[in-house]
Amino acid sequence: MARPFLGLVFEGGHYTGDVEGCVARAREEMAVLSARRLAGTGLLDKVVLVTDRPALAERAGSLPGVDSLISAPDERFHFGRRLAQVIGEYDAAGFVYMSGGAGFLMDSAELSGFVRAVAARPGGIVANNIYSADMFGAADSQVVLSADLPEADNGVPMAVHMAGNPATGLPPTIGNTFDIDTPSDLLVLAEVIPMLAPYAQCVRDAATAGPMGRAAGILSAAKAALGRELAEIALFGRVSPATVADLNARTSCRLRVYSEERGMRAFGRDKPGMAKSLIGAMIQTRGAQGFFSDVAWCSDAAFVDTRVLFAHMGAHLSQEERFCSDLFLWEEVRDAPAARLVRAAYEAQIPVMLGGHSLVSGAVRALAACTGRSGVV
């Protein structure tokens, strides 16, 4: 019997906070739909959903062409080790991997194209982002297994490359750059599903569950700014050249961009105090209110990757606190400077969206695609 070419979807993890729970439940819905869509490509011998949540495993295992594997919830999760175990259990010749929230806006043709791109490059790894990936694959599993695989999925392509193997990045699109793993990502997803992902209406209700009120109003105003002629849009954080080019092509806005700390997680600089952020230093010098006042002076809306700022500030935030910051729930953020930053953003004279890497990547691109405007400025 020929060794199988697998599709892998990983979703799980422990959560304790209310907002974390909202995100987890929405991502479960996405993971089930992603497993079904991968199986529907007809290009994979088997799709396997890997989780530590029995109910999710039961749902996935009932889908045609989909298996499920359960990881022990009390084990410290190490992505690289678990990936190697799954590959070994199925004796997989090759595989494509997607996190539960990755690639959700890829249409059927793009999803199939991803699988074909992996199959066409047997000597290396293909990823949506070489420096910080949430979807990747290898036609020859041994190429990946021979590397020193990291604890998190983001660093796998770079680890494979450092082991001497070619790493190929997919052309960046809205579909493959929008990884949904924060509340602000979910708000954007719910906004764009009718136009960009009509197959995902079942996910929309789950995406808007939770205390979204403050952030929903900001999102509406920020999206409106993206659709205005010659609006000034500020982007801060891990902004890629591809995002800038895409926004220039899709909108008639003028962009103010300061990009810093790209690859922060892959290079281990996401720990408190490790990142170096000029924007963070300006906030510390000017004060959060003063900084956002300055941004409002020259911009009509802003999208801010706060993870870079929090790492620079040395803020020891739990995942629940980071998620609460995205929803402007500063009362739930115990680190005082971080809480002041969140409140100042909410009280700014312009809409300021807060979030993680995807906010200044796939999310803002998806919003722009729904404005109906185009033209390079």
SS (H, E, C) 132-194: CCCEEEECCHHHHHCCCCCCCHHHHHHHHHHCCCCEEECCCCHHHHCCCCCHHHHHHHHHHHH
Asked whether residue 1 carries a pLDDT value surpassing 70, the answer given is no
Contact 89, 68 (CB under 8 A): no
Confidence of residue 375 (pLDDT cuts 50, 70, 90): low
Burial (0-12, 13-18, 19+ Cβ within 10 Å), 170:
buried
Is the pLDDT at 377 greater than 50? The verdict is: no
Mean pLDDT value of segment 234-252: 95
Which residues are bridge partners to 5 per DSSP?
Answer: 94
pLDDT at 363: 96
* pTM, rounded to two decimals: 0.91
| Average pLDDT of span 308-328 | 97
**Two tokens at 149?**
């695989």
358 has a pLDDT exceeding 70 = yes
pLDDT of res. 74: 63
pLDDT tens-digit readout, 136-155 = 999 999 999 999 999 999 99
> What would the two tokens of residue 83 be?
């990936």
Q: In the prediction, which pLDDT does 208 show?
A: 85
Burial environment of residue 77 by CB neighbours within 10 A (0 to 12, 13 to 18, 19 or more): middle
Range 23-38 average pLDDT: 95
Dist CA 328 CA 146 (whole Å)? 44
Q: Tell me the C-alpha distance between 104 and 370, whole Å.
A: 16
Q: Token pair of 174, please?
A: 């809205």
Mean of all residue pLDDT scores within the chain: 94
Sorting pLDDT into bands at 50, 70 and 90, what band is 254?
Answer: very high
